[in-house]
Structure 1
């Protein structure tokens, strides 16, 4: 059984435990602010964060701005992307009174935790990480030190608040495994300090982009949360399909059609095969119209709430979240240094 299958098999028991005693858990989750958040972010993890927050799980949401430059030369419009993401979070239902939203660069203690954590992994382990491999291939540039050590930075992000629950899609599961190894090795070497966090596989662990490839802002195959309904419909109309009129769900042979069916499926909470049967022989035009309506309807309330928010709201939320996160980070770093015998 592979890692994803084994983790998925544990989900019913883990979800039951969360429901029975949410106070046992502390979540760390977040994004690299490389662009606007999209439908994949929303159905993949953001909805799950809101559910956990509302269930009483203590939640920390990081916008890992330093990690924007892991696989690119500049940070680009990182400030704009951070503020946009905060507005998306608020519109989706993340409550800053219950969840701390913060940025990596405002918490210098994260980088101090990174150093001892780096000593707990081998170069071979870092090279084997699938995200490092895929980002290296997509960047087309030489492997830099930040990209190579990206999984260790994520471990510091998770463990600074002693997060023991990490909602993830399929792609990020290996990062949780690295974090578990680092926590275990630190505890074995210096004494019990960190929990070994559990991955919480979300309901939609992997949603393809509109063209059937991996959903990515760089491919232009995403539907952003900030889009208007007309922009959403236009993006969907441009999605590639094929010449076969009867709509069927076949991701291998018909990636474009199947990706649209997957998108409709997550928005309508129906099996993609059922959506295909509904369209039948009406063709790709009918499919795209249905998908556009489903996406716009599912995001309508979120977008209405977002339209009432301004950048100042995001700035206020970040100031509060940064203070809360840094207070905990200082405590954890002190405990880490004490365990290592480095309090002077």
Structure 2
């Protein structure tokens, strides 16, 4: 797979493709994604983590910002608790394969409390209206019906992160788009370059609804094999392709990590099938040639295999 195809697979938007081609041609290039430290790293996080591994393999230096201050501003816990989670999350990222000489983990408080960073944050705060800052947080903020001032600082800090880390590319889920577009518009006003931006989809939880810890509709990298099988057995798998969580797990987690995926079934139902691409699997499922139960079983074996090294790394 060529570098451009590897870099762009399983994305929903690149701003802009011409800029990406120019960056790919550079001998040295870098990308960052920021993560608020959280209790568990699950399949929702793994969409961007898998993309970071693609970009690493396409020649990018990867910088992962463990955004402890952002988590604090977004009311995710005390600074002490957030620090504990940041260290645990780093181990989870490494466990799923995001490691190597071209991967660097940066703790937010190590770079966000110096004078230059704070001055740049204040310079941008002078220019961005409260309405723009609020709208940029629509998809990522908590309790945005009555936002706090801290949540308005959040997107401005994220913009300064891009400049401070000196990266060419800002990667995030599509929910980060509004913040990234602010960065493209306003970073040049403080003498910083407008970043190339890449966005990945937000996938459904296993029950077909928005993935949420309160719903328990996710698979964590720390789940045991037994946990995974129980969750997958109850997962929603409609005959339709659109918004199908099982197909999403196959597309964004299983096929990018495995060379082949085997669907096992009795001879009377057509026998085993082997797939080397997601597109082939989706086509046959859409044509009704694969039963939802068989698709779930195949997906279950695939995600168990994909996450097995993570369970070993974490000592689970």
Indicate whether the TM-score tops 0.5: yes
CA offsets, 1:233-263, max 9 Å, x none?
Answer: 1222233457xxxx33243xxxxxx122221
Distance 1:265 1:278, change over 3 A: farther
User: Is structure 2 residue 68 aligned with structure 1 residue 59?
Assistant: no
Larger strand proportion of the pair: 2
User: 1:225: Cα distance to partner?
Assistant: 1.4
Find the counterpart in structure 1 of residue 199 from structure 2: 201
Give distance in 1, aligned partners of 2:82 and 2:232: 27
Give distance in 2, aligned partners of 1:239 and 1:126: 37
Find the counterpart in structure 1 of residue 210 from structure 2: 214
User: Is structure 2 residue 289 aligned with structure 1 residue 289?
Assistant: no
Q: Secondary structure at the match of 2:193?
A: coil
Conservation of the 8 A alpha-carbon contact between 1:87 and 1:306: yes
Find the counterpart in structure 2 of residue 29 from structure 1: 33
Distance 1:143 1:53, change over 3 A: same
User: 1:141: Cα distance to partner?
Assistant: 6.8
State how 1:167-178 maps to structure 2 within 5 Å. Answer: 167-178=171-182
Distance 1:239 1:307, change over 3 A: same
Give distance in 2, aligned partners of 1:9 and 1:140: 27
Moved more, 143-152 or 74-83: 74-83
CA offsets, 1:58-100, max 9 Å, x none?
Answer: 3321111111133437338423321221112222333364332
State how 1:158-307 maps to structure 2 within 5 Å. Answer: 158-187=162-191, 194-202=192-200, 205-240=201-236, 247-251=239-243, 258-266=244-252, 267-268=254-255, 269-271=277-279, 273-274=282-283, 276-277=285-286, 282-283=291-292, 285-307=293-315
User: 1:198: Cα distance to partner?
Assistant: 0.7
User: Is structure 2 residue 33 aligned with structure 1 residue 47?
Assistant: no
TM-score, normalisation: structure 2:
0.76
Larger helix proportion of the pair: 1
Q: Secondary structure at the match of 2:64?
A: strand
Count of paired positions: 279
Give distance in 2, aligned partners of 1:265 and 1:6: 13
Distance 1:73 1:231, change over 3 A: closer
In structure 1, runs of 5+ residues without a counterpart are 188-193, 252-257, 309-344
CA offsets, 1:27-81, max 9 Å, x none?
Answer: 2222011221112222x22122233334442332111111113343733842332
Q: Secondary structure at the match of 2:228?
A: helix
TM-score, normalisation: structure 1:
0.70
Conservation of the 8 A alpha-carbon contact between 2:96 and 2:310: yes
Give distance in 2, aligned partners of 1:168 and 1:297: 26
Output the aligned Cα RMSD: 3.0
